[in-house]
Structure formats: structure tokens, C-alpha cells
Amino acid sequence: MKLYKTLQGNIVEHGNQYYRIDLPWDELINRSGLHHFLQTHLHHAGLLSPVQADALLNSRLLAPIGAQEVWAAGVTYLRSRDARMEESRESGGASFYDKVYEAERPELFFKAHPHRVAAHDEDVYIRRDSTWNVPEPELTLFIDSQGEIQAYTIGNDMSSRSIEGENPLYLPQAKVYQRSAALGPCLFIPPTPISPLTKISMVIHRADKNAYTGEVAISQIKRKLPELASWLYRDMDFPHGCFLMTGTCLVPGNEFTLTPGDKIDISIDGIGTLTNTVRYKPS
């Protein structure tokens, strides 16, 4: 089951049919048993004709977020650990990544307030004071206020490798700035937890060429998804629930940096494709 947030309301896709559910977004998604609720609520929801559904889904999709914070986990895949160790070798920070990959406590960091999040088909930004920029394609969890994973979406944890590589203490500046996060195109709400065979892929298009392509299964992750959620909820309340990006498994080679105009497609089996174009923040 998929749930889209659009300017004209919330649309559920289920078994090739589309329904409109008129509940405020946060009230709708922040509940235990979200899949069961939607399935039973569909009987009372408005069935859309294929033409109506097409018009709504081809108009502007909003990021599937309301009042929630976005957090992120780091160094959860070997590829991410290795890339971080390479970029921070000169600064002497490399061993921190090695240690956190092995440690019981995961790396978790604050990523974005909702107003900094780009939706599907919107621009994401790179910083003007950064010389080395990459997208990070990440399976993203929607966790309800009780700490249970209810849904999944696609996330892009845009990152400055030059700023983080200079000093790991610059992580918040490498990670948190306007439109440094993207979420979408929908929430995927399966009846059972997402399969470890699920694949994440990314294509970066530059002037009609593929500047990067990669694909990995989420089974490569070092940690369990509920384990990440439970660390995030230690001594912390999320009254509307929370989004948690679960770390990148794909990092382009060290010679690669994003440039304005690049188009990033991130796809996850069962969820769809999140597309964003790279720009500088208009001054």
C-alpha cells in the first residue's frame, strides 16, 4: 500500500485502485497498525476514477512529512565507513568511523526540520562553500510516536564530503542546510516489515549521460532497522513520530562531485523513484 501527500489531499494506492483519505497528515500517519487502519478505512474513503487519480498524482506531490523531524543514521554500511575513512584520512579523523561501525551505539544525527525537506521533483541544494558534494540514497523509516516502524520512504541525505572530511566536528554543517534532505515520492506501508532483499539504486544524470549508477540490497546493512529506531527513541519524545534515514550504501568514487543541473534518481523496490535536480540555493 502506498500513501501520497498532494496539494489536493492524501491518496492511497492499493491493488491498482486509488482512494482519497481526508484526515490531517500527522493524525493519519502517526498511529500503531497504520497498514491495518488504512485497509479498514478504505471502505469509507472516496474511490477515485483512474482519470482523477492520474491528475492528482501527476500534479505536484508534496514530501510525505508533516510536523516530524528528520534524523539520520551514519556508517551503517561498509561502503560508507570506507568512504568516510578515505575523506578524513588527512585530518586524522578516520578512526572515528571505523570505531562507530563496530560500536554498539550507532551514529545518529539530526538532519532536517520539515521546511528544509525537498519533495519529489523539487531541487536539492549543494553548498557554495563546499567543493565536494554527493547525494546519499537511503531507505528512510517512518517511526510512530510509540517507536514502532510504520512505513518506509526514499531519502536523500545530501552531504558535503569536503566539509566533513576537513574535520568530523563539522558534520552538522556538512549535513544540515537548506534542501539538504529530500523525501518521497510516497510512504510505502507493507503489511509486514520490508524485505532484506529490497534493492536501492541511484542514477545521476548529467547532460544526457549517466555520471553515476549503482545498486545495493538493504541486507548489506550492519544493523537491524528496529535497533536504529530504538536507539533514536532513547530518552527522546517524538509526539508526531519521526523520519529516520538509515545510512547510505552507495557512494560515488572520490573523483565525483555533484554540479548544478545534475538530476538524481533514487529508486527502492516497492516504493518508487525519488527524483531531484541539483542547484545552489538562490541568493
What residue ranges bind ligand DO4 (CB under 6 A)?
A: 72, 74-75, 80, 84, 107, 136, 157, 171, 247-248
Candidate ranges 90-98, 104-112, 150-158, 206-214; the one touching Mg ion (CB under 5 A): 150-158
75: partner contacted, choices Mg ion, ligand DO4, none (Cβ within 5-8 A by kind): ligand DO4
Q: Sign (positive/negative) of CA torsion 157, 228, 242, 195?
A: positive
CA nearest to 49, candidates 19, 23, 4, 22: 19
Judged by CB, which is closer to Mg ion: 37, or 96? 96
Residue 275's DSSP bridge partners are 265
CA angle 228, 230, 232 (to 5 degrees): 70
Q: Is 157 in the site for Mg ion (CB under 5 A)?
A: yes
Q: Grid coordinates representing 242?
A: 519521526
| CB of 227 vs ligand DO4, minimal distance in Å | 16
142: Cβ contacts below 8 Å, ≥ 6 apart? 29, 64, 68, 149, 150, 151, 152, 153, 187, 241, 242, 243
84 binds, options Mg ion, ligand DO4, none, Cβ within 5 to 8 A by partner type: ligand DO4
Using the minimum distance from each CB to Mg ion, give the nearer residue, 10 or 276. Answer: 276
Tell me how far the alpha carbon of residue 241 is from its chain's centroid. 15
CA distance linking residue 139 with residue 150, whole number of Å: 13
Q: Of 136 and 144, which has the nearer Cβ to Mg ion?
A: 136
Contact 203, 210 (CB under 8 A): yes
Of residues 118 through 147, those in contact with Mg ion by CB under 5 A are 136
Which of ligand DO4, Mg ion, none is residue 135 near (CB under 5 to 8 Å by kind)?
A: none
Q: Please, what is the minimum distance in Å from the beta carbon of residue 209 to Mg ion?
A: 25
Nearest C-alpha neighbor of 259 from the set 202, 197, 199, 211:
211
Give me the least distance between CB of 157 and Mg ion, in Å please: 4
Measured from each CB, the residue nearest to ligand DO4 is 74
- Choose the one of ligand DO4, Mg ion, none that binds residue 107, judging by a C-beta under 5 to 8 angstroms depending on kind: ligand DO4
Contact characters 232-251, Mg ion, x per CB under 5 A: ----------------x---
Shortest distance in whole angstroms from residue 247 CB to Mg ion: 5
Cβ-based nearer residue to ligand DO4, 107 or 265: 107
Cβ proximity to ligand DO4: between 61 and 73 the closer is 73
The answer for residues whose C-beta is within 8 angstroms of residue 263's C-beta and 6 or more apart is: 204, 205, 206, 275, 276, 277, 278
Let me know: does 163 contact 130? Beta carbons within 8 Å. Answer: yes
Given the complex with Mg ion, which of 4 and 155 has the nearer CB atom?
155
Q: From 249, 252, 253, 247, select the one nearest 264 (Cα to Cα).
A: 252
Q: How far is the CB of 109 from ligand DO4 (least distance, A)?
A: 7
Burial class (CB in 10 A: 0-12, 13-18, 19+), 102: exposed
| Shortest separation between residue 83's beta carbon and ligand DO4, angstroms | 8
**Binding stretches for Mg ion (CB under 5 A):** 136, 157, 248
